[in-house]
Amino acid sequence: MSAERIQGGSKGVQLDSAASEETRDSQGRTPESIREESVSAPEDKPEEREDAAGEAGGAEEGKRRRLRWRKKELPGGLWLKCEACAATIYRKELEGKGMVCPSCGFHFTLPGAERIRMVLDEGTWEEFYADLASLDRLEFTDKISYAEKLQRTVERTGQNEALLCGTGEIENRPVVLAVLDFKFLGGSMGEVVGEKIALACELARKRHRPLVIFTSSGGARMHEGMLSLMQMAKTCAALRSLNEAGGFSICVLTNPTTGGVTASFATVCDLTLAEPGALIGFAGPRVIATTLKQELPAGFQRAEFLLEKGHLDAIVERADLRDTLARLIDYGRAAWSAE
């Protein structure tokens, strides 16, 4: 095993209990409110974070619409507000439904580790490149230095970067999986995120496995300046090489995906899927509303809007994702010789 490869469940992905942190944020600060233009810069709220508190069991089995969501006790509020319909939801009910609003079906943003657990067959995840960590190459300082911001985020999340990538199986079908985690600086793409997407493309190419990507991101990470913009080019270069080798790629856009991620690898995979209600766009809605000085139409930039305008292959509910991905992968098999 190479030095940069770390087994699943160790350093790279901790089963942390920040599952509902976006929800908590939504009381004062939704993912939308911190996004502008094609970059994101979420603030650190270290006082709101909890330590790792994963526990075993809880996955529901036996149904076609399976939800591999792990219920667990979370400190803090028992009741949450849905950011889409404003319904008050009992936290345990929300978790039981895989973080899907029981009244309107809004799909809450999932932490990366939970996404991996939900999508992959149990025990098949093997993480790669978990130790790649970002550098403050521009010595960027706003209220605090980027170096310090990174350090705090690493401590809070227990992972080195916003992208988790590795191998695993979806209903016994081997895949390379890459998951952007919104809780790490808004899932923003800096050098390491871009590099890991490129490495995931190369891993898929070498292992002859389909590449499955989940995105949730505010876009390019402005603290890395042009180095982050160039990740758009880097990821597309790697994806193109995968395409030319006959690879098969699927990207699932989840709430929210905007900016430089949408404008690069996320929208040019072989198949583009989205979760219901996911906000997907180039410019953030606030930027557009400010620029145009007008209110935006209802449903603007939501997954259903994109589907109607012809930009998505399909919208897939969270409960159907595993099954749908498995079936899609079977159609992509012809492109590959067996591993």
Partner 1 sequence: MSEAPPDKPEPGAGERPAKGASPPRGAETGPEFERPIRDLEGQLAELQELAGGTQLDISSEVAALRARLEAAIETTYSELSPWDRVIVARHPERPVAGDYVNAILDDFIELHGDRSYGDDRAILTGLARIDDERFMLIGHRKGRTTKERLACNFGCAHPEGYRKALHKMRLAEKLGLPIVTLINTPGAYPGIGAEERGQALAIAENILAMFGLRVPILVIVIGEGGSGGALGIGIGDRVLMMEYAYYSVISPEGCAAILWKDGERTPDAAASLRLTSADLERLELVDGVIPEPRGGAHRDREGAMQTVRATILSELAGLRRLETDELLRLRREKFRHAGAIDGRFPTCP
Cα torsion 239, 240, 241, 244: sign: positive
CB of 236 to partner 1, least distance (A): 4
265 binds partner 1 (CB under 8 A): yes
User: What mask, x for binding partner 1 by CB under 8 A, covers residues 6 to 45?
Assistant: ------------------------------xxxx-x----
Which of 281, 285, 284, 289 minimizes the C-alpha distance to 312?
A: 281
> 118-130: string of b/e by CB count within 10 Å (b at 16+)?
bbbbeebbbbbbb
Does the footprint of partner 1 cover residue 233 (CB under 8 A)?
A: yes
CB of 144 to partner 1, least distance (A): 10
CB-nearer residue toward partner 1: 268 or 326: 268
- Nearer residue to partner 1 within complex by CB, 179 or 197: 197
147 binding partner 1? (CB under 8 A): no
Which one-letter DSSP state was computed for residue 208? T
Q: Which of 154, 230, 245, 307 binds partner 1 (CB under 8 A)?
A: 230
Q: Which stretch binds partner 1 (CB under 8 A): 86-94, 96-104, 107-115, 261-269?
A: 261-269
Q: Compute the least distance from the CB of residue 94 to partner 1, in Å.
A: 30
Q: What is the DSSP letter of 309?
A: T
User: Residue 66's CB: how many other CB atoms inside 10 A?
Assistant: 18
Q: Which of 84, 181, 118, 70 is nearest to 319 (CA)?
A: 118
Under 8 Å between Cβ of 114 and 69: yes
Q: Does 311 bind partner 1 (CB under 8 A)?
A: yes
Q: How far is CA 171 from CA 118, 326, 331, in A?
A: 11, 6, 14
Subset of residues 268 to 307 that bind partner 1, contact rule: CB under 8 A: 268, 281-283, 287-288, 290-294, 296-297, 300-301, 305
Select from 288, 300, 146, 302 the least CA-distant residue to 224. 146
Q: Residues touching partner 1: how many (CB under 8 A)? A: 73
The helix (run of H) or strand (run of E) holding residue 176 is strand 173-180
Considering only 21-29, 177-185, 203-211, 314-322, which stretch makes contact with partner 1 by CB under 8 A? 203-211
User: How many Cβ atoms sit within 10 Å of the Cβ of residue 3?
Assistant: 6
Place of tokens 């996955």: 59
Site membership for partner 1, residue 136 (CB under 8 A): no
Task: Kindly state the tokens that stand for 304.
Answer: 């259903």
Q: Should residue 234 be labelled a site residue for partner 1 when binding is judged by CB under 8 A? A: yes
Indicate whether 63 belongs to the interface with partner 1 (CB under 8 A): no
**Contacting range for partner 1; rule: CB under 8 A; set: 78-86, 89-97, 99-107, 222-230:** 222-230
7-15, 152-160, 221-229, 316-324 -> range binding partner 1 (CB under 8 A): 221-229
Piece of the chain touching partner 1 by CB under 8 A; list 46-54, 71-79, 202-210, 321-329: 202-210
Shortest Å distance, C-beta 283 to partner 1: 3
Question: Residue 115 CB, nearest distance to partner 1 (Å)?
Answer: 22
Q: Which residues of 182-212 are buried (b: 16+ CB within 10 A; e: fewer)?
A: bbbbbbbbbbbbbbbbbbbbbbbbeebbbbb
CB of 332 to partner 1, least distance (A): 19
Q: Are strands 249-258 and 280-281 parallel, antiparallel or unpaired?
A: parallel
* CB closer to partner 1, 69 vs 182: 182
Which residues within the stretch 67-86 sit at the binding site for partner 1 (CB under 8 A)? none
DSSP 3-state of 281: strand
- What is the Cα–Cα distance from 272 to 25, expressed in whole angstroms? 28
**Which C-beta is closer to partner 1: that of 203 or that of 213?**
203
Beta carbon of residue 178, minimum distance to partner 1 (angstroms, whole number): 13
Which two three-digit tokens encode residue 329?
């992968």
